[in-house]
Amino acid sequence: MKKHLLAFAVAAIAAGGAFAQASDTIAKVKASGQVTMGVRDSSGALSYTLGDGKYAGFHYEVCQRIIANLEKAAGKKLEIRYLPVTSQNRIPLVQNGTVDIECGSTTNNATRQKDVAFALTTYVEEVRIAVKANSGITSLGQLNGKRIATTTGTTSVQLLRKHERAQNQNFNEVFGKDHAESFLLLESGRADAFVMDGQILAGNIATSKAPADYKIVGEVISVEPIAIMLRKDDPAFKKLADDTVRDLIKTGELAKMYDKWFVQPIPPKNTRVGLPASDATKAAWATPNDNPLEAYLKK
């Protein structure tokens, strides 16, 4: 009986130590020799799957640079594990230590900052509307009574409802479990429009079977800072991530990486997303910060 109690106590201490260590990412990965990167299957050119467990994209590459510096801090080569996350589970998986760094398309806002931390902003998004080119829809005012696709766990339709030009309109929301499924709702005619981050819309259109059949229309619904997501209360790892991004900006590498993924042809089909860096994104690079969405809304 005493042995069982001792074993239980040791296990409890170990579990508690692991939980505590989750907020010290450098110590955690040094002890385990592994780092887990949260990736997205269909977050446009920020993060997407190539199949066979391989991923690519702008934020995927930024995270690779952060992990290279994490290896230097840990003093060892780390095994990188890729864990696909969704809009629904990405924050809990970062909070509980399952994911060490999330490299997708997460908006930095005040509510999320209560639960997680964000590295310096690397991309500023414009939320837009994608429709079929022959739909006749060209603005927010034409969405009344339409079926609007959105991805579960995102804020796009809520933002649409708050837009002044969408007041007093009724939308029928249809949900996709991820961005690829949401685009499929539009593609198959089960939705009249897909509301989401502009680069996600452009990325899904570029890799679709018939890119010319779709277009991005209407007013900009919202401007949102997108950043690499980290665990909260881990100042050493946040500094490492911030310093990495700051160095990429200073050397001009971040701008080159952006051009690589958003302007030049990208795998697997060598299609172009066709979104040069916006003025808002360039402004974020000019004055590196981790300001939340609410700071942008005040402007």
Tell me the pLDDT tens digit for each residue of 230-245: 999 999 999 999 999 9
Q: What is the pLDDT of residue 16?
A: 41
CA angle 95, 150, 221 (to 5 degrees): 95
Q: What is the pLDDT of residue 140?
A: 86
Q: What is the pLDDT of residue 261?
A: 96
Residue 164 pLDDT class (50, 70, 90 cuts): low
Residue 171 pLDDT class (50, 70, 90 cuts): confident
Q: Is the pTM of this model over 0.85?
A: no
Q: What does the pLDDT average to over 24-34?
A: 97
Task: Kindly tell me if the per-residue pLDDT of 247 is higher than 80.
Answer: yes
Sequence ranges of the domains in the chain: 23-122+227-297, 126-224
Selected residue with higher pLDDT from 16 and 160: 160
CA distance 83 to 241: 19
Contact 155, 131 (CB under 8 A): no
Selected residue with higher pLDDT from 243 and 299: 243
Among residues of the chain, what percentage have pLDDT more than 90? 70
Whether 126-224 and 23-122+227-297 are alike in CATH topology: the answer is: yes
Closest by Cα among 231, 221, 230 to 196:
221
- 120-151: per-residue pLDDT in tens? 999 998 889 999 999 999 998 899 999 999 89
Least reliable range by pLDDT among 29-33, 99-103, 178-182, 255-259: 178-182
What is the CATH code of the structural domain delimited by 23-122+227-297? 3.40.190.10
Selected residue with higher pLDDT from 199 and 10: 199
Q: What is the pLDDT of residue 165?
A: 65
φ, ψ at 5 (rounded to 5°): -65, -40
Selected residue with higher pLDDT from 80 and 224: 80
CA distance 117 to 240: 13
Classify 126-224 by CATH class: alpha beta
Q: What is the pLDDT of residue 228?
A: 98
Q: What does the pLDDT average to over 264-286?
A: 92
- 178-231: per-residue pLDDT in tens? 999 999 999 999 999 999 988 889 988 988 899 999 999 988 888 889 999 999
CA distance 30 to 11: 21
Q: What is the pLDDT of residue 236?
A: 98
Residue 274 pLDDT class (50, 70, 90 cuts): confident
Task: Name the pairing type of β-strands 42-43 and 193-197.
Answer: unpaired
Q: What is the pLDDT of residue 22?
A: 60
Least reliable range by pLDDT among 72-86, 145-159, 225-239, 269-283: 145-159
3-state secondary structure the chain: CHHHHHHHHHHHHHHHHHHHHCCCHHHHHHHHCEEEEEECCEECCCEEEEECCEEECHHHHHHHHHHHHHHHHHCCCCEEEEEECCCCCHHHHHHCCCCCEECCCCECCHHHHCCEEECCCCEEEEEEEEEECCCCCCCHHHCCCCEEEEECCCCHHHHHHHCHHHCCCCCEEEEECCHHHHHHHHHCCCCCEEEEEHHHHHHHHHCCCCHHHEEEEEEEEEEEEECCEEECCCHHHHHHHHHHHHHHHHHCHHHHHHHHHHCCCECCCCECCCCCCCHHHHHHHHCCCCCCHHHHHCC
